[in-house]
Structure 1
Amino acid sequence: MTSINMQQCFVRNEQLKHYPKVSIASIPSRLLLMISSTSNIYGKCLFGLIMFLPNLYYFYYFLHTSLDAIFSGKLKNFLRFLHGNWIFIVYYFRYNHELVKQINDHWNALQIDFDYETRKYFWTRKAIYRRLTNALYIFLIIFRYGYEFYIWNDRHGIMFYFLLLIWTPIGFVKHFCESCILLDLLTLAETAVRFNLIQLKKLLKKSTKDGKSLNTNAIENIRHKYLSSCRLVEKIDEIISPHLLLMFVDSLISACDLCYNLLYTEQSQVHKCYQIIFNSVILITILVSTVLGIKIHEKSQQSLAIVYKLSLKTNSMRLLSEILLFLNQSEIGFTLGGVFMLTTSSLSTLFSILTTIVFALPTFAK
């Protein structure tokens, strides 16, 4: 089954660009799988070492902080400890070889890897997101180290060099791998849902020209692929859902801390600009990831809308019963911590609530 673009290239005797089979395998994925919960003893030891080294900073702080300071409510470092570890821990337990195998099985069940446009869409989007991710983290690294060297002086202790040489590089590598995997999984889900939408649009176009072109086998085949796409997204949601939830919690903590510092503490203008830019970049990253997740839900809604239009173009009871089964399928989309599905309306409501919290909490903490 060749696509229209492939046929046009054959007519013009042009050489098609080769796109490999769709796969989420990558260097970041292999790195996290190597230290996942299903890895061997060496991988588990490496995970323990990665957890131990960066957190020496927090252990040092807790050992040199009095109980009065801890219980007085100044737990900023404890929140930073959670911020730097909980997404990584979630990936350790959930993103493992078993989950990746199940995702690959659901993708293979779709049987759409033969389609040239599907491969082209996946790898094109993946390349774009990877370049943007690389550019983003290169900017953050240069920005972070540029700021650290700007405030550097001879009076800095050993913890400063520890943060500069160990804590920061490990943190950037962890977040980079997590971001790459997140975008790869979102792209895979979007590719699957997009294929169903394109097939339904073609079917609707044919039925507009000739009502007899509708047949039960075509609707049944697309319905099965839609159901397989739903199962694929549900499996991917096992890692996407907690990741997005913790990203929102991280952004809320960072935004509250930033708002409090800007309003009620005396800091240099350079440090304030650094905090604003750094938190703004993180917020943009969260928004991009969330919008990609919402697009998957919107495409599934478009598919159901086209199926409903198809139901108006036939009088066949057998075909109508097949369409009814299609319309009874559940919505496709990602959830935020398994609480609610990410949609445009839920996202706007969530940001309204978060904005209220960000501006309200520093006032109570004054």
Structure 2
Amino acid sequence: MLASCLALALSLALAACTGTPGPPAPATGTASRGTPPETAVVVPPLSTAPAPSASSAPVPAVQERLDLQLSIPWAAVFLPDGTAIISERDTALLKAVREGKATTLGKIPGVVPAGEGGLLGLALSPHFATDHLLYTYLTAQEDNRVIRLTVKANGDGSLALGQPQVVFSGIPKATTHNGGRIRFGPDGLLYVGTGDAQRRGQPQDPNALGGKILRLTPDGSPAPGNPFGNATYSLGHRNVQGLAWDDAGRLWASEFGPDVDDELNLIVPGANYGWPLVTGAPHRAEFQDAKVVWPSTSDSSPSGLEIAGGVAYLGALRGQRLWTVPLNGTEAGTPVAYFTGGYGRIRDVIRTPQGGLWLLTNNENPDFVLVLRPFQ
């Protein structure tokens, strides 16, 4: 059985590399597990996938394109007044966007861009109206870390940045696999997606910070109730770059595979997602299976993740498309792809105050924001 599964995975990966472009949205297959019963949606290569069946999920539609002359934007958040703040990875700049125009807020000190490292994820304090705190994940000289700083309005309505304060440090850094997505959960705690930083011994070590999802208090302490009594919330990750919660408060995460098996995971506290021992959905009792597996990373390489109306929206880098995945409780349905190859690499997906989505392109020279219409 193991040999046949490996052969199937290899054949899927080879088909993805040699096939010709197919329909923009694939259908899926399923794989069963013994105890407990569980399924994983395995997305076949586009070259072999038939046209998708009808879906009740809303169809993403482009409303406008904002040409803001951005340079490798990585994340965005919306302030209560509707102003968007965008991080630029290599310039270490924060940009503010109002009424379709971007201005520079300032440069974050201490950022050391290298490869995939730099100024990465952003998260707005749940109490921003009173504390005015913006959190960001960045690559410094020594490590990857989380800092926070205030964002306040001046008398003329412009925004001013306060002095940065280190919240959490010591996350391993490298030119690749830096993780970087941060987000506050419904519980008011800060979740941090880290990468293995090419240190393959770290993801399986609950006391190491690489290859994890961390859960912290707003001040950077390990959150009470964490499964290992430290900052670790889940382990066995390779490179987490998307975090989002569904309507029931369940945490989902998108994750890069190596050259196979990109993943959409439902995160269970204390669960082990297998890296570097396994990828995808190996159906082994000691590891948590991914809910969706893309055997070919050329079809996905998922980064930013948003969930709205029971649908997960994933931005694909190598895949250059927006994946939509309907969610049904703890299970995932048939993924459907949109905009394949039309707008380049998509780094982040952000829900707008109007109920639509922003898509941040990446490495398009210059990059832009694609605004999707609000969902009905």
Interval containing the TM-score (normalised by the shorter chain): under 0.3
TM-score normalised by the chain length of structure 2: 0.19
More helix as a share of residues: 1
Choose 1 or 2 for highest CA Rg. 1
TM-score normalised by the chain length of structure 1: 0.19
